[in-house]
Amino acid sequence: MLSIENIEVTYHHTVQALRGLSLEVPKGRIVTLLGTNGAGKTTTLKAASNLLRLENGEVGEGRIRFKGEDTRHIAPDMLVKKGLFHVREGRRIFAEMTVEDNLIAASYALDGRPGLKADFDKVYDFFPQLRERRKQIAGYLSGGEQQMLAFGRAMIAQPEMILMDEPSLGLAPKVVEEIFETIRRLNAEDGTTMLVVEQNAGVAFSVADYGYIMESGQIVMEGDVPTLRNDPDIQSFYLGVGGEGNVRQSFRDVKHYKRRKRWLS
């Protein structure tokens, strides 16, 4: 559905952020893109949704195709109408508007797509908290509720594919689980294709089918999630398993740690 072929991205004509990155997201699948801070994950998503140009970034070499169509000359708002929705890093909800108005803003994505109507009830059924806070100013929602709202906006737009930028950022483990459960549900029920950018490999692997690992602007490893999960490098760098000194014997210890943290939150 989305294919990125060998793209290079520079900011302000000087800073190179991506160097020959390629990835492929097949229809109906959940693909995750992992990497540390500054690896270029967010840049990759912005390149795909064409928001890059607004920040003085430019795709030099290579090309990006969405549903087989080169996206280079499609304005970001038109790309949304074609079915590619970008949930941005840090949620980026409209803080001064009400929850409902935030959702109405997303319904612009449906303009010019006959037969589609904004389904607010579906969002409120997914996230009952949002229904209660419908008339509240979105800036006063908790972090988790803001992420739900960001997700809700994506649902209103009824995209064929969602780009998710670090949905777990700054959220309690319980809320993260809820958000990833929603990702799974949306993929299973509506067949929405997902590209999920994460730092938290554990949760990302729990929903994804396929994964890419990137480092300083390039893909360094890719594979099916079970394969990646068993890779010793990934275990030590992204899953926090193993490593010198403090060797954990089994996955159960990690699980234990996670459970405790969840209990505290």
Partner 1 sequence: MGQILQFGINGLMSGAIYALIAVGIVSVFKATKVVNFAHGYLIMFGAYFYFTFAVLLPGMSWAPAWYVSWEPAWLVEMKEGLPMFSPLGAVLDWLTNLPRVIIGLIGALAANAVVGLIIERVLMRPLMGQSVFAMIMVTVGLISVMSGGAQLIWTADANYVPSLAPNTPIRFTLFDTQIFLFGTDLVNAVIAVLLFGAIVAMVQFTKGGVAIRATAEDQSTAYSMGISVPRVFARAWVLASLTGAIAGAILATRNGVSPSLGLFGFSVLAIVLMGGLDSYVGVFIAALVVGVLEAMTQWKFGGDWAGIVPYVAVLLVILVRPHGLFGQKEVERI
Considering only the stretches 34-42, 79-87, 189-197, 215-223, report the one whose residues sit in contact with partner 1 under the rule CB under 8 A: 79-87
Choosing from 5, 8, 105, 218, the residue that interacts with partner 1 (CB under 8 A) is 105
Choosing from 61, 69, 70, 77, the residue that interacts with partner 1 (CB under 8 A) is 77
Considering only the stretches 20-28, 74-82, 215-223, 231-239, report the one whose residues sit in contact with partner 1 under the rule CB under 8 A: 74-82
Amino acid identity at 93:
I
Dist. CA 243–CA 227, nearest whole Å: 19
Can you say whether the dihedral through the CA atoms of 168, 173, 179, 184 is positive or negative?
A: positive
Nearest-approach distance from CB 186 to partner 1, in angstroms:
18
Rg (CA), the chain: 19
Q: Does residue 237 interact with partner 1 by CB under 8 A?
A: no
Q: Does residue 108 interact with partner 1 by CB under 8 A?
A: yes
Q: Does residue 104 interact with partner 1 by CB under 8 A?
A: yes
Number of Cβ atoms within 10 Å of the Cβ of 140: 11
Considering only the stretches 18-26, 80-88, 176-184, 200-208, report the one whose residues sit in contact with partner 1 under the rule CB under 8 A: 80-88
Q: Does residue 123 interact with partner 1 by CB under 8 A?
A: no
Q: Could you tell me which of 235, 217, 215, 218 has the C-alpha nearest to residue 226?
A: 235
Contact set for partner 1, span 39-68 (CB under 8 A): 49, 51, 53-56
b/e per residue, 175-205, with b = 16+ CB within 10 A?
bbbbbbebbeebbeeeebbbbbbbbbbbbbb
Choosing from 88, 131, 248, 258, the residue that interacts with partner 1 (CB under 8 A) is 88
Nearer to partner 1, 21 or 45 (CB): 45
Nearer to partner 1, 38 or 143 (CB): 143
Q: Does residue 11 interact with partner 1 by CB under 8 A?
A: no
Number of residues that bind partner 1 (CB under 8 A): 35
Give the interface with partner 1 as residue ranges (CB under 8 A).
49, 51, 53-56, 75-77, 80-81, 85-86, 88, 92, 94-97, 101, 104-111, 137, 139-141, 143, 153, 157
